[in-house]
Each structure stands twice: as structure tokens, then as C-alpha cells.
A and B are shown apart, each in its own frame.
Chain A
Amino acid sequence: MDLLNALALLSNYVLVPALAYGSQLALGALGVTLIFGILRFSNFAHGDTMAFGTMVTILFTWWFQSMGLHLGPLPTALLALPFGIAFCAIFVLVSDRLVYRFFRTQRADPVIYLIASVGIMFITNGLVRFIIGPDDQNFSDGERFIIKAGDFKKLTGLSEGVSIKLTQGITVITMIVVIFLLFWFLNRTRAGKSMRAYSDNEDLALLSGINPDRVVAITWIIAAALATIAGTLYGLDKSFKPFTYFQLLLPIFAAAIVGGLGNPLGAIAGGFVIAFSEIMVTYAYKRFIGYIGPNDWTPDGLVQLLSTDYKFAVSFVILLLVLLVRPNGIFRGTGT
């Protein structure tokens, strides 16, 4: 019984939140890694692209809610998501046309793209705050829980409850569907294959008749879709505030680099590595040890490795370790 309680405790505070957070990071890191693999630069504007896509989704969600349109127990935001993706795709395509294309025709160094993307980041950031404001926005509706902690206790008779929010369930399922679709697209379709060819060797791909503009456009659209989905899921599960999306850039890049930049599989693994370490290192194991240890073993202290204030630091330590030991990431990436 104590073992089950310990398991429930760990699921409630570590496994379930980390799984949801990891899925959100993985989707974000996939977008970063895709841009890096195909367009060959680190897109620092990705966090704010997420905020932009989420903002459009929220505006449509509000509109749908005001018209009385909803999905029953599911959040209305899912209905608004395609519109968010469409607007976000238009936004990144316009920014590519206005900024990045110029550097592409110049065959500029990756570092120049990177600096340009920092500029785009600030512009997007300002735009989002200008349109929706810098404050928290609440847009989740529908059922809140798949199972509540109290109901779980009654159902199982355990003294520890496990609560699973509906948004956490949706996050994990959506991530699995999106990743399946993405890999199917990259490996099975003609457009996906031409993207991979372009990524492997640009000159060779051009020689064999691949249209570079098409590849670039498709890449941006996929990246925008991934960013909007990741951002909307994060906003639904936690809360939407433009500034936190800007901060998300850090763990997302850590995830992409840990997994190996340019490697989609690595981005997913990296997302979960970062999420689980952030949460496991800052969790206080006092009650957990109390359950699995013999009687009266409950320690006086919290048994917490790091204070939660240092959550962001965890991803950087992992990033440093990976860069020191395996500079190309856990899964061999394209490298810098």
C-alpha cells in the first residue's frame, strides 16, 4: 500500500506534470531544430512566434466563445487552433520575405541570420504585447480535470491523490499525433524528402531540380504550425503571458541542443530530458521517502536537491554537460 502511495505521490507531482511540460518543450524544440536543419540558423524568434500563434488562437477562441460555439468538454481553443496556425504561418512567411530572403540571396553567414532573428524576436514580442497586452490571459474552458485528486483517493482508497488535468491529457495526445504526422511527412512524402535533401546538401538539391523557395516556404509553415500548437497547449495547460513565452526560449533551445540540433528525434528526447530533470531535481522527496522507507523514516528536511527558484538553471547545467561531453548532442545533430 505504501509503495502504491509513493507511486501516486510521484505521479501527481513529477510524472504527470513532467510528461505534459516535456511534450510542450518537445514540440517547441522540433520547430527550432527544423529551422536549424533546413534553413541553417538558430531562430531566436521561435518563443515569440509561439506567443504570436497562441495570441491569434486566443482571439479566435474568444470570438467563438462569444458566439456560443464550443466543443463540449474539450477546450474551444482546439477549434480556434487551425486559424492560429494559418495566421502564424502568414506572419512567418511575411517575415521571411521581408528579412531572411535578403540574407539567403546573399548567402550570408548563419550568425547574421541569428542576429536578424533576434530583431524579429523583439518585433514579434512588441507586436504581441501591443495587440493582446502584457498580462495573463485566460482562455481555457470546458472540463478542467480528467480525474481530480479527491476522486482518485475515493476510487482507489489510497491516501495520496493523482490529479490529471484535461489539458495535460490533450497535450500528450496532441504531441503524439503531431510527431507521427511530422515523421510521416518527412519520410514518406515528396515534399518531405525534398526538404531532407535540401538539408543534407543544398547545392546538390538545387542541381537535382528542387525548388528552394518551395522548401523554405514549407519549412516555415511547419515551424509555424509546431510553434502555434506548442504555444496553445502550454497556454491552455498553464497560462498565457507574452513574457513567459519569451522565457520559454531557454529550455526549448536547451532541449534542441541536448538532443542534437537538426535532429527531430533528438528534439523530442531533449524536451523530455529537460522537463524531467527540471522537475525531478527541484522536487522535495520528503513524503516519498516517508512512504518507501521503513516506519518513522520520514526525514525532517524536505530532501530537495535544489530550490524551485533554480528551475531554469537546471536546463543550463544539462546543456553545459552535454556540450562538454557530447558537443553534437545525445543524438548526433548537424552541429554548428
Chain B
Amino acid sequence: MKKLLVSAAVAASLASAASTVSAEEIKLGVFLGFTGPLESLIANMAPAAELAIKEISESGKLLDGTTVTPVRADTTCVDAAAATAAIERLITVEKVSGVVGGDCSGVTTAALTNVAVPNGMVMVSPSATSPALSTIEDNGLFFRTAPSDARQGVVMSDIIMDRGFKEVAITYTNNDYGKGLADSFQSAFEAAGGKVTINTSHEDGKADYSAEVGALAAAGGEILVVAGYIDQGGKGMIQSSLDTGAFETFVLPDGMVGTSLPEAIGADLNGSFGQAPGTDSEGAGMFTEMSEGFDPTSPYAAESYDAASLILLAMQHAKSSDPQKYKDSFMEVANAPGEKIFPGELGKALEILAEGGDIDFVGASNVELIGSGESAGNYREIEIADEQLTTVGYR
């Protein structure tokens, strides 16, 4: 009797193991903030992720003809409790095999540590950029196709150094994004031999920033790094600095890059510079051509396509849709060596992998996974000239 039970169990496990390689139907969670402060970006991110899922599913080449359907769940971007409940549902009720998301760093951290890691579920975020996620305890289950803000700090430090500035003041918006970016920039800049005179916060939504600017001016510095938001305190800090003559040149990270800033400030902003995520790789152009019904140039849309693609390619590489098995395949499919894979070539990639070949997934956002599995990132260096945003180059 005991023997019978054991052999039955073995048979059952064999059957389940076998089923992962034969044709089946799997679900992929699309775990993004369909409501909340990022909903206008999600309107382009979710279709981009689903485009990759559709492309792979319709090719019929994934794991011997497995079909994939996306299941949406709402992170809300800000409410950790709601996000935790939503991913709980994805894993326990919908039984997804992988999750694209979350979007904002806070809810992503909560969902990862509370639900995904205990359940052994793979999450690939297209847009969470907090440096804290690089060192989080994730059992190798978390990846992101967006670069960490720490990476932007290094790039920003390089740009400033290349322009010959050695002494800067920093002001940041008082939240995880602002503080993370300011601190990572400060350590990169000081490591490169620069001097940070002051690193202090400002609150968004105030009418008057002259007191904050007064403190910055007292500390001094050649230029001011404004790690803030373009329609919020960041703009106020720049306006107030110009009004009092405290600073004349500003460094603008991603949250400050937009056409509305030079329009609002005018000619005084000429000469300021900065960087935002962006790439001139051919993958971006191919992605633009194949997109339908959404804006492919919207922030993190390309990263969303790549996140969904990577999960499915990793499954193909591991020949299994079990997160515990395919989590080790991400680095293999994302990085060299192998044949470069651009958007729209996912079917070809699946074929190469099925034959045991090697691929180097480039995707729409020029993915290169570094460290614990996050994108190295590509940045567009910008400068304000003649009250216009101009692209200087790519880094």
C-alpha cells in the first residue's frame, strides 16, 4: 500500500513535470497601476507588455505550442496593501507563471517581499527604479528592465564632470525617488573627485521656495542639481534660484526633463543640462513600427515589452514555466553571447532556444542585465538651448 502511494506520487510528479514541456495554457500577470498617479503611463505600458505576450503566444513555438494569456491586476502605484492583495490573487487564484510588474518602487517592494518571494514567483518590473531594489532579498526572483536610479546618479556625475564642474549643490524632492537619486549621485560624484556643498530636500506643492534657496545659496556651488518634479517643487526651486540670483545653471534629471520647463522659465534656463532614460538603438525604431493602439515612445512602454518578452524567453531557455526553474535563465537570454534579438523577432528567438542555441535579447530598450538582474540603462543627454530641449547625445 505504501509502495503504491509512493509510486502514485512519483507518477503524479512525473506527469506534472512532463506537462510543463508539452503544450499547455499558462497565464502571465500584468501587475501595473491601472489606477493611481501613473495611470496615464500604464495606458501605454500594459498594451506593450501584452503585445509581446501575444507575439509569443501566436507564434506557437513556446514550450511546444504553449499559449499565454495576460491577466491584469492593479498595483495602484501608492497603496501597498491593495497591491499585496492584487498579486496574492494573481498567484493563488489565477495561478500565473510569472509577473510583469509592479510599476512604482514602493508597491513593488511590498508585493515582492510579502507575496512573490514567499510564493517563489518571478517578478520583472519595467519601471521600478529605486536603488533599494538592487540589494533586496529576492532569492533571485526579481528582475527589472528599468535601470536603478543609482545608475542615473553615476551617469549624471559623468555628464557634470565632462562639462568641467567640480562643486555642486543638490536639492531633491522629499520622497524615495528624490532621496535615492540625490544620494546615489552624491556618492558617485564624490568618488569621481567632485565636491557636494549641500544635499537637502524640498517639499512639493509649496507656493514659495525662497527660504530653501537661501540655504542652498549659503552653502554655495557652481551649479544646482534639481532632483525633483517638473510641475512641482523642482520648477519652483529653479524659478526662485533665478529670481534671487543664487544659481544660474541647473542639472535636470529625468523627473525634470520636459518641454513645459523651458516654456515656463524662459531664456534664463538656457545652458542648463541633464539626462533622461532614452536610447537611439534600432530596437526602439522597430518597436515603434510594430506598436498598435498605444504610444510606443511613452516612458517605460519599451521596457514593458521587454519585461514580458524576457520572462517568456527565459521559460523557453529553461524548458519550463516553473518560476523556480526559469529564474536562472534570465541572464543567459538577456546578455551576450548569442544572436541579437530585436522586437518582432521573438518567434525566431524561440526557435533558436528550442534548438539549444544562444540569444542576446536586445529588445526595444537595449536591455543589458547587470548586477543582480537589472538593466544597465541608456540615457539621453539633453541641454536647453534657445529655450528648446535639445538632445546632445546618448550614454
Chain B binds chain A: yes
Interface size class of A (residues with CB under 8 A): 35 or more
Contact A238 B244 (CB under 8 A): no
Q: Do residues A283 and B211 form an inter-chain contact, with CB atoms below 8 A? A: yes
A241 neighbours in B (Cβ, 8 Å): 205, 207
Contact B245 A284 (CB under 8 A): no
Contact B211 A238 (CB under 8 A): no
Quick check: A284 and B205 within 8 Å, CB to CB?
no
Q: Which of B124-179 contact A (CB under 8 A)?
A: 174
For B220, what are the chain A residues with a Cβ–Cβ distance below 8 Å? 287
Q: Would you call B245 and A12 a contact (CB within 8 A)?
A: yes
Is residue B286 within 8 Å, beta carbon to beta carbon, of the partner chain? no
Q: Which of B207, B215, B243, B264 contacts A304 (CB 8 A)?
A: B215
Q: Does A17 contact B (CB under 8 A)?
A: yes
Question: Across the interface, do A163 and B205 meet the contact criterion of CB distance under 8 Å?
Answer: no
Q: Which residue of A lies closest to B232 (CB)?
A: A136
- Kindly supply a per-residue 1/0 record for chain B positions 197-212, scoring 1 wherever the CB is within 8 Å of any chain A CB and 0 otherwise: 0101111011110111
B214 close to A (CB within 8 Å): yes
Q: Does A13 contact B (CB under 8 A)?
A: yes
Q: Which residues of chain A come closer than 8 Å to B198, judged between CB atoms?
A: 302
Cross-chain contact B218 with A284 (CB below 8 angstroms): yes
B243 lies within 8 A of A282 (CB): no
B86 neighbours in A (Cβ, 8 Å): none
B218–A285 touching, CB < 8 Å:
yes
Q: Which residues of A contact B244 (CB under 8 A)?
A: 12-13, 149, 163
Q: Is B231 an interface residue (CB 8 A)?
A: yes
| Given known contacts A138-B264, A161-B245, A163-B243, A239 and B207 CB-to-CB distance under 8 angstroms | yes
Assess whether B217 is in contact with A244, with CB atoms less than 8 Å apart: no
Rounded to whole Å, the gap between the CB of B379 and the closest CB of chain A is: 28
The reply on A311 being an interface residue by CB < 8 A is: yes
**How many Å from the CB of A288 to the closest CB on chain B?**
8
- CB-CB nearest in chain A for B239: A239
Cross-chain contact A309 with B243 (CB below 8 angstroms): no
Residue of B nearest to A283 (CB): B214
User: A148-B245, A239-B236, A311-B211 are contacts. A13–B205 as well, Cβ < 8 Å?
Assistant: no
Q: How large is the interface on B (under 10, 10 to 19, 20 to 34, 35 or more residues)?
A: 20 to 34
The interface residues of chain A lying within 8 Å CB-to-CB of B174 are 309
Task: Kindly state whether residue B219 has any CB partner on chain A within 8 Å.
Answer: yes
- A174: Cβ under 8 A from any B Cβ: no
Which of B219, B231, B236, B245 sits near A163, CB closer than 8 Å? B245
| A302 engages B207 (CB within 8 Å) | no
Q: By the criterion CB–CB under 8 Å, are B211 and A282 in contact?
A: yes
**Neighbouring A residues of B264 by C-beta, 8 Å:** 138
Q: A308 at interface (Cβ–Cβ under 8 A)? A: yes
A21 at the interface (CB under 8 A from B): yes
In the bound complex, do residue A308 and residue B205 qualify as a contact, i.e. CB atoms below 8 Å apart?
Answer: no
CB of B323 to closest CB in A, whole Å: 43
Given A244-B207, A302-B198, A13–B245 Cβ distance below 8 Å? no
In the complex, which residues of chain A have a beta carbon less than 8 angstroms from the beta carbon of B217? 13, 287
CB distance from A250 to the nearest CB of B (A): 13
User: Is A234 a contact of B215 with CB atoms below 8 Å?
Assistant: no
In the assembled complex, which residues on chain A have CB atoms less than 8 Å from the CB atom of B206?
244
For A287, give the chain B residue with the smallest CB separation: B218
Q: Say yes or no: is A79 at the interface (Cβ < 8 Å to chain B).
A: no
Check A284–B236 contact: CB distance below 8 A.
no
Chain B residue nearest to A281 in the complex (CB): B211
Q: Is the CB of B245 within 8 A of A243?
A: no
A241 to B210, CA, bound (A): 17
CA distance A182 to B39 in the complex (A): 51
**A284 lies within 8 A of B214 (CB):** yes
Distance of A238 Cα from B264 Cα, bound (Å): 14
Q: Which residues of the partner chain B approach A302 to less than 8 Å between Cβ atoms?
A: 198, 215, 218-219
Residues of the A chain whose Cβ atoms lie less than 8 Å from the Cβ of B212: 308
Known interface pairs A284-B219, A287-B220, A308-B215. Does A13 touch B210 (Cβ–Cβ under 8 Å)?
yes
Contact B211–A286 (Cβ < 8 Å): no
| Option from A149, A286, A311 in Cβ contact (under 8 Å) with B245 | A149
Query: Nearest residue in B to A237 (C-beta to C-beta)?
Result: B208
For residue A244, which residue of chain B has the nearest CB?
A: B207
Evaluate contact between A136 and B245: CB separation under 8 angstroms.
Answer: no
Q: Whose C-beta in chain A lies nearest to the C-beta of B201?
A: A309
Are A135 and B218 interface neighbours, CB within 8 A? Answer: no
* 6 pairs, CB–CB < 8 Å, chain A vs chain B: A13-B213, A149-B244, A284-B215, A284-B218, A287-B220, A308-B212
Besides the contacts A163-B243, A240-B207, A303-B218, what 17 more A-B pairs have beta carbons closer than 8 Å? A17-B210, A149-B244, A150-B245, A161-B245, A239-B208, A244-B207, A279-B211, A279-B214, A282-B211, A282-B215, A284-B218, A287-B217, A287-B218, A288-B218, A302-B218, A307-B200, A308-B214
> What are the 3 closest A-B residue pairs judged by CB atoms, nearest first?
A149-B245, A284-B218, A238-B207
* B interface residues with partner A (beta carbon < 8 Å): 174, 198, 200-203, 205-208, 210-215, 217-220, 231, 236, 243-245, 264
